[in-house]
Amino acid sequence: MNQPELTHPALFINRELSLLEFNRRVLAQAQDERLPLLERLRFLCIASSNLDEFFEIRVAGLKQQAAFGASQRGPDGLSPAEQLQRISETAHTLVAEQYRVLNEELLPRLDRHGIRLLAPGQWNTRQRHWLKRYFHRELAPILSPIALDPAHPFPQPINKNLAFIVDIEGEDAFGRELSKAIVQAPRALPRLVELPESSAQASYELVLLSSIIEAFIDELFPGMSTLGCYQFRVTRNSDLFVDEEEADDLLRALQGELPSRRYGDAVRLELADDCPDDLAAFLAVQCRVAAGEVYRCDGPVNLVRLAALPDLVDRPELKFPPFAPSVPARIGDAGNMFEVIRRGDLLLHHPFQSFAPFLDFLRQAAVDPDVMAIRQTLYRTGTDSSVVDALTRAAANGKEVLVVIELRARFDEEANIGLANHLQKAGAQVVYGVVGHKTHAKMSMVIRREGRNLKRYVHLGTGNYHTGTTRLYTDYGLFTCNHTIALDVQRLFQQLTSLGRNTNLRTVLQAPFTLHRWVLDSIEQEIRAAREGRPARITAKMNALIEPQIIAALYRASGAGVEIDLVVRGVCALRPGLAGVSDRIRVRSIVGRFLEHTRVFIFENRDPGVYLSSADWMGRNFFSRVETCFPVLDDALARRIRAEIALYLADNAQAWELQPDGSYRQVSVSEDRRQSAQETLLADLAGGR
């Protein structure tokens, strides 16, 4: 029997189309009637935000490749031009579905609950008068209409900023005949305006900024006639280009590049559904987008702005019930984190368990007279960061504080530059990682003098040191003072600062040096076990799986008899369930209240067999980032992780199963048999569901 060619394009799902499929699963949450209504609206906004970033980065990159005539095809065999065509078809369908869900499902249900988003035709006389006063008081003074003529060319709108094209006629004060004008809404303006109780007819009545501007646009053009006003928004290429080999100072180079993000090449034009074809064509020409890059919107052109609505509405019954992340009893009994870690390794699963123990770890280190030094990586941490506050205090107290900040964390570049400057002023040493490789590893180390010795305490995680996302993302964090692991972490920090070679790490795997080879070797070890008739199984959970060599190895493992269960939240290029290729591979995606972000790799014939990682199985993680993958050496913690992963494999409430053709089928069972991994973990680990 001929063996299948495991690198054939037919065996790979296109990365970009797989990402759009993930967005389809997120959008499905907005349609799920089992979820609280305002949370459904949040999911709609998340789907819209995801699509924004998809165009800014993924589509923008493909457009550049197509423009330069690139003919290189990915593992799936599609050229950049072919991918753009397929993306356009799928994305137009998704956008149409977003607005259908908003208009036919969410807005009518919100209305029935006394939450109304009022269009101009629904305003009563009192509301119209109040909104007109609001327009003149808050909007008119800062709006800058630009009539288009040879002296006033088309102003290129800022990336993703709300703008309006106005159809006008008549002469201006200088006797010029004008036909078009552009009005851009400043970003500082709120996109949702709540009507006062004195004029409201329901519990909550709100008006979109776009509706207010459209209703009173004629006030900006005295003496002229406005024939129409139509909202639009341009999405631009937002990927920053910095030649790191040529840049003498990466921070300064990035600072110089950041403003260009606002005015990159246009990749998408969104505009009001009722905009006349001639104006739409005019905008497309001015923005330099093709017809297939124009998206008609039956509602606000930026659905992300509706994410503010749940926060304006005090209706807890329409939101997820609150919960209190738990703190392990060991911590509550001791209080001192160094004492807790000395008793044994400690594992936290966020958001079900609190992030506070890590903050306590840093805060205690900052004031402990026996602590000599702190080492910390920061990829994303937020502008108002308790982590940075603790590091700043430690530096002020004379600790040796070294922080590796990844300045190139996409869309957090500006925030990270600010954090770097703040920490340097406080006396911390700040470095920016390695040229050509993003530092994506999540590591923290405290060096403490205990008697005659220096003892290292380490925290390793699968997610960022961001106090906000620890309430929204699932991630593991491991505390340990295991000598071998801690020594490996020290060597990794030394490598990031001195750039010396580390060839003798004993337990921690590192990208770009050892991780990829280790994963391939681990798969081969399972293959050998299966061929010898021994039990062989691979269970892995990650955010994305697209690296071709890993996928081909998994296909070989399936063919050899290895049972493979993969939980892949987002992009997956592997096709499961193909006869003779991937019969024994099952892939599922969990989309629920929290964003699944843990990376767990379990190989039955490895010892130890359970690993946590900062890396997904993607080329960029294996070859162009600094990543860590570390073993869980404590048997009880390893058993716990296995049990928690088993919950995800048994989930039949929020799970989607990947089909051979690249589509996903939602798992469906009767309500009495419903099992949700996230809900179970909330009940077991946190104070509430």
Q: Which of 349, 440, 516, 597 is catalytic?
A: 440
Cα–Cα distance, 402 to 446 (Å, whole number)? 11
Cα–Cα distance, 460 to 473 (Å, whole number)? 16
For residue 498, what is the enclosing H or E element? helix 483-498
Coil, strand or helix at 485: helix
For residue 405, what is the enclosing H or E element? strand 400-405
Coil, strand or helix at 357: helix
Cα–Cα distance, 335 to 363 (Å, whole number)? 12
Q: Measured in Å, how far apart are the chain's first and last C-alpha atoms?
A: 53
CA dihedral sign, ordered 65, 626, 601, 444: negative
Residue positions counted in the chain: 689
Written as six digits, the tokens of 452 are 């005659």
For the question of residue 597 being annotated catalytic, the response is no
Written as six digits, the tokens of 508 are 């921690």
Amino acid letter, residue 598: T
Cα–Cα distance, 136 to 213 (Å, whole number)? 10
- Relative to beta strand 204-208, strand 115-117 is parallel
Residue 120 near residue 215 (C-beta atoms within 8 A) = yes
Residue 405 near residue 378 (C-beta atoms within 8 A) = yes
Written as six digits, the tokens of 333 are 């009994």
- Give the number of other CB atoms < 10 A from CB of residue 392: 21
Burial of 151 (0-12, 13-18, 19+ CB in 10 A): exposed
Burial of 579 (0-12, 13-18, 19+ CB in 10 A): exposed
Burial of 197 (0-12, 13-18, 19+ CB in 10 A): exposed
DSSP letter string, 92-104: HHHHHHHHHIIII
For residue 26, what is the enclosing H or E element? helix 15-31
Coil, strand or helix at 570: coil
Q: How far is CA 382 from CA 122, 182, 393, 420, 470, in A?
A: 40, 35, 17, 12, 11
Q: How far is CA 291 from CA 90, 92, 230, 439, 641, in A?
A: 15, 12, 18, 39, 50
Written as six digits, the tokens of 231 are 């909202």
Cα–Cα distance, 14 to 19 (Å, whole number)? 9
Q: Which residues pair with 147 in a beta bridge?
A: 181
For residue 147, what is the enclosing H or E element? strand 146-147
- Relative to beta strand 610-613, strand 600-603 is antiparallel
Cα–Cα distance, 488 to 491 (Å, whole number)? 5
Closest of 477, 416, 488 to residue 442, by C-alpha? 477
Could you list the active site residues? Answer: 440
